[in-house]
Structure 1
């Protein structure tokens, strides 16, 4: 097993554990690490992350389905589905210059959201209007189609809501699981699944399973406030990595 493959699987293991804790970190952490260390192409990494996301969500939610906020899940997915279609189209048709510009924009937006919430992680006193979840869903879906990480705008909105971290985590997991399955279906129907993606997915699925089981057996004892801070420190760090990669 090569050093790059070991590094890839280590990143997947750590990202899977963080995903179980926060409800979103697998895609953004894994993709940020893969891009930063140049371990795989963006298209291949995005596809592998979709496979792993679906696997992780099923495992992480096996005892938490009741915590999903069905209404917020529905209105967010109404935006994410068309946004994902647009993001996949952009990934396949944009030139390198525009692609890097979008990557830079994504990084800067993640940094802005992360810094805001690190400074003020306290949630809102009232629930945001439902149309905001749909609009953010469109924005998140575009970046989900491009990078397999719809998390930043969606995570930012959800962690500001007057909900428990358990409810936020379960709803985010459900949203990203559906988005990943939908993106896999689009890419699969277009015949864009490479052998490398299949190979890496086959090796990575057991790693995701092991990390999820480990989290279930040994969950960390942390407060809601600390989980919120961890979530947005991760957002900020990954934003810096993604923006720096585009710049370089």
Structure 2
């Protein structure tokens, strides 16, 4: 990449790291969306780079906060997410382009509807969901990740609907995405796709990610619990709309 593009990419990663620290998600979605729209770099290399910087963000954001994590919920969600990523990749290879587009359109519609309905009623559930519910959300998230590179929506919706403190929700999501990112890094190393240029970019971005993460921990925006939940569900709506638009474009070509 040109030096100017690298600087823009690192600045974008820093801003997305701040957002992820205060909400528990968003780093991958924001950077992938922006880089695709502005053609900053190939999607495959950005995905690997994001896996590396996600580990930096997670280590900094979770330092001293592991006691806030609902380990049963995280364990159940992770158990469903990790293997279903592989299933999603294999399913995408099996489906035809038109069938994949129709499925993406349906999934985008579901995510958009779920975000809209939750934003209109942002109050959490009266009781915590069972472990099976967290497993299913991880399963669906893994399939989305494997097929379309978007793992967040089912997990975000699941955790933000729980009667948990916001710090518990943030820490749980950050840890799950860190585990997913670690798995992707290992797989990239196995395939020999962890190139030196990506590692250099990750090292350049690491100080910015750490500073922005620490800034988010110390100076979070003055948002109430309800406002933060509405923000999360609003981002879900944007993700759903993006999936629908991409599917429609693909089907009308």
Common fold by TM > 0.5: yes
- TM-score, normalised by the number of residues in structure 2: 0.86
Cα pair 1:109 1:239 within 8 Å, conserved? yes
Partner of 1:173: 174
Q: For residues 21 and 223 of structure 1, what CA distance do their matches in structure 2 show?
A: 12
Check if 1:233 corresponds to 2:228: no
Distance 1:172 1:118, change over 3 A: same
Q: Distance in 2 between matches of 1:240 and 1:15?
A: 20
Structure 2 SS opposite 1:231: helix
TM-score (norm 1): 0.88
Q: Which residue of 2 aligns with 1:217?
A: 218
Residues 178-237 of structure 1 deviation map (CA, whole Å, 9 limit, x = unaligned): 111112112221223345533432332222112112212322222111110111112222
1:17 aligned onto 2:14: no
Structure-1 separation of matches of 2:48 and 2:210: 18
What is the correspondence of 1:57-206 to structure 2 with a 5 Å cutoff?
A: 57-89=58-90, 103-146=104-147, 148-206=149-207
Query: CA, structure 1 residues 116+7, in 2 after alignment: closer, same or farther (shift >3 Å)?
Result: farther
Gaps of 5+ in 2: none
8 Å Cα contact 2:48/2:185 also seen in 1: yes
Q: For 1:167-187, what per-residue CA distance to the aligned partner results, in whole angstroms no more than 9, with x for missing partners? A: 111111111111111121122
| Greater CA drift, 156-165 or 40-49 | 40-49
Shift of residue 92, structure 1, vs aligned partner: 7.0
Q: 1:184 to 1:95 in 2, by over 3 A?
A: farther
Are positions 1:207 and 2:181 aligned together? no
Q: After alignment, is 84-93 or 11-20 more displaced?
A: 84-93
- Flag the 1:239–1:4 CA change in 2: closer, same or farther, 3 A: farther
Please identify, of 44-53 and 197-206, the stretch whose mean Cα deviation from structure 2 is larger: 197-206
TM-superposed deviation, 1:240:
2.5
CA distance change for structure 1 residues 2 and 169 in 2, over 3 Å: closer, same or farther?
same
Name the SS of the counterpart of 1:123 in structure 2: coil
How many residues align? The count is 248
Separation of aligned partners in 2, 1:8 and 1:195: 17
- Structure possessing the higher radius of gyration over alpha carbons: 2
Root-mean-square deviation (CA, aligned residues, Å) is: 2.4
CA positional deviation for 1:103: 4.9
